[in-house]
Amino acid sequence: MGWGLPPKSFRPAKHAPGLQRQFRQKTDVDRLHQSSDGPRLLGHAKFMTQSFALGRATLTEQQAIIAEHVLDQLVQGVAASALIDVRAPIEWQRASIPQFINLPILEDRERHLVGIAFKEQGQSAAINLAQELTAPHQQRRIAAWRDLARTSSSGDAIVMCWRGGLRSLVACQRLAEVGVKTRQLRGGYKALRQVLLEHLSDPPPCLVLTGLTGAGKTALIHELNRLPGAGMRTRWALDLEEAAAHRGSAFGGDEAHPQPAQASFENMLALQVAEARRTTTTMLVEDESRMIGRLTLPSVVLKGIATSPVVILDEGLDVRSHNLFDEYLRAPLAAGIALKDLHAKAQKALASIRSRLDREAPVIQGLMDKAFANGSEAEAHQLWIEALLVHYYDKRYRHGIARYPREVVFQGDRAACRAWLADYLQHQAFHG
């Protein structure tokens, strides 16, 4: 016997109070919700079969957990419960929550076909088709939920769907029948998204780590986030590039690890803010522009970066070119990426900024091609990397600094900045 849910009309999610002005750009998921295909793809497939019919008593007795308590688990870094998102992959790809694992109750094609059946033939035909499509897969999907729950430290599961409705309730019931304790996320993804956005809309005061490209700002952020704190999980600094899966420059993309959807990026940032709020009264953040790859920084974060005091990480050209050689070549080669593929990626990135380099572009191109033709020797590659820094990145950085002047509270090399920031952040630790 398959499973299904009665079709329901779709109403787009709204941001948390106060965020309408701050999030002016629609995310991918918002566009889908408001498109003509939104109800068919995201609404019509919320169905249950008659064999899973639920009475009022079942709904009221089902154990639930509120979004704020789920967030309490998320900020610990590893939730005690297995976190299961039973929405369809198309929903997951457009808006996910960190640490939740997508194990859908219905695959995209199943939801799509049932939606068409409902639209063209009515509810009865849709239910019959749902039973037919899902029957061969029901036990396998229940087993996948059960196996994931058993890997958690508590042996139980928190189950989430779009609005905390029938999909997650059905999953909870099926898991209970195979001996797994479950809790349904009340309000589903929408409720947890709202709680996260409330954190993102009101972050702690910021201190900005800035410096020329290649100075090692991201590496220092990672090191500082390993400083001990009062809780099990500490977050002294936002890691924007980690959340965006991008290094924030023309050469910063990684095709093997594509960027998340805009809504997922915002959710990751919001979780980082929630972690930081429980660690420190002042949050460190790396200096970034509005766009990180194809993702847009939320305006509240961008405003914090543009108006907060700064610490300048000051390193010479040789150190910076060496750092970028490690990032552009040494690390990817060690990961098994072929030299010719790295060359093609570098050529593509250079082509994307050629118009801003003017007469220097052919020079850098020549140095790059010569270096790659001779292998992975550091000295040769640092020549084109240094030219790229001097004629492109450094000019853009100095233009930005001049355009948005901010108070400088400290300036030094990596060792000096690390020592100063470690002492400063420890004094900002949140103790209550």
Domain range summary for the chain, segments of one domain joined by +: 28-196, 203-432
313/403: higher pLDDT: 313
Cβ atoms < 10 Å from Cβ of 270: 27
Residue 153 reports pLDDT greater than 60: yes
Cβ atoms < 10 Å from Cβ of 336: 7
* Residue indicated by tokens 């090692």: 216
Residue 68 reports pLDDT greater than 60: yes
Q: State residue 38's pLDDT score.
A: 41
Q: What is the pLDDT of residues 80-89, one digit of tens each?
A: 899 999 999 9
Residues in the chain: 432
Closest-CA residue to 380 (of 389, 370, 390, 388): 370
Q: Quick one: pLDDT band at residue 60, thresholds 50, 70, 90?
A: very low
Residue 297 reports pLDDT greater than 90: yes
Q: What is the mean pLDDT of the chain?
A: 84
392/257: higher pLDDT: 392
250/194: higher pLDDT: 194
**295 φ, ψ (degrees, to nearest 5):** -95, 150
Alpha-carbon distance 149 to 157, whole Å? 5
Residue 353 reports pLDDT greater than 80: yes
Residues 6 or more apart whose Cβ sits within 8 Å of residue 117: 125, 126, 129
Specify the DSSP class assigned to residue 429.
B
* Residue indicated by tokens 């910021």: 206
Residue 11 reports pLDDT greater than 70: no
Just give the CATH number of 203-432. 3.40.50
Q: State residue 54's pLDDT score.
A: 37
Interval 17-44 mean pLDDT:
39
Interval 234-242 mean pLDDT:
91
Residue 22 reports pLDDT greater than 80: no
Indicate if 161 belongs to the active site: yes
Q: Quick one: pLDDT band at residue 2, thresholds 50, 70, 90?
A: very low
Residues 6 or more apart whose Cβ sits within 8 Å of residue 178: 142, 146
Interval 412-432 mean pLDDT:
90
Q: Quick one: pLDDT band at residue 79, thresholds 50, 70, 90?
A: confident
Least reliable range by pLDDT among 108-112, 385-389, 426-430: 426-430
Q: State residue 19's pLDDT score.
A: 39
Tell me if 28-196 shares its fold with 203-432: no
Q: State residue 232's pLDDT score.
A: 53
Least reliable range by pLDDT among 4-8, 154-158, 176-180, 222-226: 4-8
Interval 252-261 mean pLDDT:
77
Which CATH number, 3.40.250.10, 3.40.50.1450, 3.40.50.970, 3.40.50.300, labels domain 28-196?
A: 3.40.250.10
Q: State residue 58's pLDDT score.
A: 45
Least reliable range by pLDDT among 53-57, 196-200, 256-260: 53-57
Q: State residue 256's pLDDT score.
A: 65
Interval 262-271 mean pLDDT:
97
Asked whether 313 and 210 are in contact (CB, 8 A), the reply is: yes
32/297: higher pLDDT: 297
Q: What is the pLDDT of residues 181-233, one digit of tens each?
A: 999 999 999 999 999 999 999 999 999 999 999 999 999 999 999 988 655 56
Residue 5 reports pLDDT greater than 70: no
Interval 266-295 mean pLDDT:
93
**Rg of the chain over all Cα atoms, to the nearest angstrom:** 25
Q: State residue 141's pLDDT score.
A: 96
Q: State residue 85's pLDDT score.
A: 98
Do strands 283-286 and 408-412 pair parallel, antiparallel, or not at all (unpaired)? Answer: unpaired
Residue 8 reports pLDDT greater than 90: no
Alpha-carbon distance 252 to 254, whole Å? 7
Specify the DSSP class assigned to residue 233.
S
Whole-number percent of the chain with pLDDT over 70? 82
Interval 146-161 mean pLDDT:
95
